[in-house]
Amino acid sequence: MTFQYKAPANFLTDKTILITGASDGIGKACAKSFAEHGASLVLLGRTQSKLESVYDEIEELHPGKVVIHPIDFKTASIEDYKILADSINDQYESLDGVIHNAALLGARTPIEFYPDQDWSDLMQVNVNAAFHLSKVLIPALSRSADARMIFTSSSVGRTGRAYWGAYGVSKFAIEGLMQTLAEELENTTSIRVNSLNPGGTRTLMRRDAYPAENPETQPTAESLMPVYLYLMSPEAKSIHGQALNVRGFESI
């Protein structure tokens, strides 16, 4: 049964949420859904033109609610992350949410034959970027009275599966980062940290992973939004350090 949650209108008003990988798929759906419920948004993505398109869509309906920040996690420096954090600290009193959504799929091949550079690039985007970004944003999140950090996970990051290579290993690393942060932040901040496995979803990454699959058999990114909205709500404040799944999700 699909999780149902009727989010209160504008319940994210006065909240500022940062989303990575915001120009497509689940990240874009989160951006549009959060904006509809009143949030101010900081949207990160690799391709400026695609970010600008998302910006235009949201700005038309919710003026003044979104800023975009193009960044390529594959090549971003420590200084780039510090500049982003400084900009957020200057513009906002606090940060109330981070959706770690950006990721590369990489090669689907045995470890024995996995391309070395592809492995390094994927770890840089899927793991190192999440670490660097979390590190510099924790001060802004700590100033919120009720903050959330959600890492997008995967079933292949919870049980190893052949031929998923760096992507699967990177998602195992994300689960470890989530657990470590959850324990460190539990008693010292209001930040609630969890991972969320969206399951098969009708996205470009899913199409690349399963090119022979009929995409119509998978749920849309928009259909996942009740879970994301619930996790950003006050009702979810007790959920912390959990490896969650969209499918079969139940409120606590």
pLDDT of res. 201: 56
168-190 pLDDT tens trace: 999 999 999 999 999 999 999 99
- The yes-or-no verdict on residue 206 having pLDDT over 90 is no
Please give the Cα distance from 190 to 39 (Å, whole number): 19
pTM of the model: 0.93
Closest CA to 178 of 163, 161, 159, 158: 158
pLDDT band (50, 70, 90) for residue 220 = confident
Structural domains of the chain in order of their starting residue, each with its CATH number: 16-245 (3.40.50.720)
Q: Which residues of 93-108 are buried (b: 16+ CB within 10 A; e: fewer)?
A: ebbbbbbbbbbbbbbe
The whole-number pLDDT of residue 31 equals: 97
Comparison of pLDDT for 215 and 11, the residue scoring more: 11
Please indicate whether residue 221 or residue 233 has the higher confidence score (pLDDT): 233
Residue 116 contacts residue 167 (beta carbons within 8 Å): no
Active-site pick, 5, 55, 163, 167: 167
Higher-scoring residue by pLDDT: 4, 143:
143
Closest alpha carbon to 164 in 172, 241, 91:
172
Q: What pLDDT does 4 receive? A: 83
Does position 56 have pLDDT exceeding 90, yes or no?
A: yes
pLDDT tens for residues 102-157? 999 999 999 999 999 999 999 999 999 999 999 999 999 999 999 999 999 999 99
Look at residues 71, 72, 66 and name the one whose alpha carbon lies nearest to residue 84: 71
**Average pLDDT, rounded, for the chain:** 92
pLDDT at site 1: 46
Residue 246 has pLDDT above 50, yes or no: yes
Average pLDDT over residues 212-218: 59
Whether 167 is catalytic is yes
